[in-house]
Amino acid sequence: MSTRRSISPIQRAGKPALRVGCCAYSYRSCLTGPAPTMSLEGFLDRCAELDCDGVELTAYYFPTPITPSLMRRLARRCFLLGLDISGTAIGNTFALPPGPERNANIVLTRNWIDLSVDLGAPSLRVFAGAVPKGVPQSRGRRWVAECLSEVVEYAADRGVVLALENHGGVVAEPDGLLDILSRVRSEWLGVKLDTGNFNTADPYADLARCAPYAVSTHIKTEIRRNGVLEPADIGRLADILKEAGYRGFMNLEYEAAEDATTAVPKAIAEMLRAAR
């Protein structure tokens, strides 16, 4: 399957420039459960202690209801810590036919576009999703493109870039991901390049193919090659981004077996070295 129409890589001025951030998802074991050991504010403090340049605030870990005062408090804390909020992230699905479930996901996305504005976050990570059983992948990609075409106009009006992640389903491989981008063709939509999500014979080649369209990233400490996990080469991942002319965040999204409290600091330190 090839993409419907060719799409142009993102055009950037200046030399490649990598900054290091951390996703709240990396500390999910600390932020959730019956007795969480970390608050969102504590997560921000930890990122500052690790010399991160910024953070990605995952929707899953916000206390409900989300109030304007909470958003102002988080934005102020980031400012005082010298942390940029590189983006937010939701767990939507767009591979759905017209109907109430699709509408609910569009409402969720619009809501988080508004919340991203409240935080001063320039981007929002979105998913495509997997098609219902028996539905062709091509139809699922068309549904995703329809949803994105609707919400990306709202995002553009609010000044938020949507970052479509290569997260299984209809975007499990580069062709599907780039096909959707070619259908929507908006300067307010790009790729959230997750380095651990291509489960193929050559994940690095797949990442290099998609890197020119990246507006944000998730850096994993492992890659999956034909179903087998192996340690990721962080330096190689950084080089792929640099070769694509990327200027932006390498956001750690840690999900390996070692406890986050010991693994995340080591991964951030390695990323800081690779970003130079």
Structural domain contains residue 10: no
Treating both helix axes as pointing N-terminal to C-terminal, what angle do 203-210 and 174-184 enclose, rounded to 10 degrees? 10
Structural domain contains residue 4: no
Would the pLDDT of 42 be above 90? yes
Structural domain contains residue 3: no
The backbone torsions φ and ψ at residue 192, rounded to the nearest 5 degrees and listed phi first, read -90, 100
Structural domain contains residue 24: yes
Q: What is the pLDDT of residues 68-108, one digit of tens each?
A: 999 999 999 999 999 999 999 999 999 999 999 999 999 99
Q: pTM value? A: 0.96
Rounded (to 5) percent helix, strand, coil in the chain: 45, 20, 35
Structural domain contains residue 11: no
Are the CB atoms for 30 and 260 separated by under 8 Å?
yes
Structural domain contains residue 9: no
Are the CB atoms for 106 and 150 separated by under 8 Å?
yes
The rounded percent of the chain whose pLDDT value lies above 90 is: 97
Are the CB atoms for 90 and 114 separated by under 8 Å?
no
Structural domain contains residue 170: yes
Q: Give just the sign of the alpha carbon dihedral 197, 202, 204, 209.
A: negative
By the 10 Å C-beta count (0-12 exposed, 13-18 middle, 19+ buried), 125 is classed as buried
Neighbours of 158 (CB within 10 A): 14
Owner of token pair 């017209």: 98
Query: Could you give the number of structural domains in the chain?
Result: 1
Q: What is the DSSP annotation of 39-63?
A: -HHHHHHHHHHTT-SEEEEEGGGS-
Would the pLDDT of 11 be above 70? yes
Structural domain contains residue 29: yes
Paired residues of 99 in beta bridges: none
Characterize 19-56 residue by residue with b for buried, 16 or more Cβ atoms within 10 angstroms of its Cβ, and e for exposed.
Answer: bbbbbbbbbbebbeeeeeebebeebbebbbebebbbbb
CATH value at residue 264: 3.20.20.150
The rounded percent of the chain whose pLDDT value lies above 70 is: 98
What ranges in the chain are assigned the alpha helix state H?
28-31, 40-49, 68-81, 100-119, 137-158, 174-184, 203-210, 234-243, 260-275
The pair of three-digit structure tokens given for residue 109, joined into one six-digit string: 């996305």
Span 260-276, average pLDDT: 98
Domain holding 181, by residue range, is 17-275
Q: What is the pLDDT of residues 110-154, one digit of tens each?
A: 999 999 999 999 999 999 999 999 999 999 999 999 999 999 999
Are the CB atoms for 246 and 211 separated by under 8 Å?
yes
